[in-house]
């Protein structure tokens, strides 16, 4: 499978988001706009044959710290290395723009994401259970 990565638009992200079965509540334009307003943002989209199939979205916390907020790959495109390619491109962009670290949060139930972060030298810096006890939120940090 051949793909390419480009800086993308919110419409592509929303299209992908709505095809992710693990997301009970896909993000809306209003949620995205509220969180990203006034921030330096990087939205990467992976496309196969011109179709958006994956994304990685993050933003500057300040001049030195970047927060990798959201990401997803449509199920039928998983396992091809797209998520790794998006992570690698995000790190390259962050280094080129002077960021010193990237923070990420994930959930224990997203095991493939956890494994990818650990494999790429992201370190667990915090972990806490959800209030309902169904899962745990895990905080990662990577120094660039």
pLDDT tens for each residue of 85-127: 999 999 999 999 999 999 999 999 899 999 999 999 999 999 9
Q: Is the pTM of this model over 0.85?
A: yes
Kindly report the CATH number assigned to the domain that includes residue 117. Answer: 3.40.630.30
- Count of domains forming the chain: 1
Percent above pLDDT 70 for the chain: 100
Task: Say if CB 98 and CB 142 are below 8 A apart.
Answer: no
Q: What is the pLDDT of residue 23?
A: 86
Per residue in 8-53, pLDDT tens?
999 999 999 999 998 888 899 999 999 999 999 999 999 999 999 9
Which residues constitute the domain of residue 61?
A: 4-143
Token pair belonging to 16: 């992908």
The token pair that represents 117 in the structure block: 């972060």
């Amino acid at each position: 499978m051949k793909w390419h990565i480009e800086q993308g638009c919110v419409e592509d992200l929303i299209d992908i988001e709505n095809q992710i079965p693990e997301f009970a509540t896909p993000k809306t334009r209003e949620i995205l706009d509220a969180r990203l307003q006034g921030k330096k943002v990087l939205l990467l989209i992976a496309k196969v044959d011109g179709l958006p199939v994956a994304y990685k979205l993050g933003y500057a916390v300040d001049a030195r710290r970047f927060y990798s907020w959201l990401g997803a790959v449509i199920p039928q495109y998983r396992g091809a290395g797209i998520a790794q390619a998006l992570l690698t491109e995000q790190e390259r962009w962050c280094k080129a723009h002077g960021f010193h670290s990237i923070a990420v949060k994930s959930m224990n139930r997203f095991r493939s994401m956890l494994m990818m972060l650990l494999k790429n030298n992201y370190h667990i810096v915090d972990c806490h259970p959800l209030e309902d006890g169904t899962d745990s939120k895990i905080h990662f940090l990577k120094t660039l």
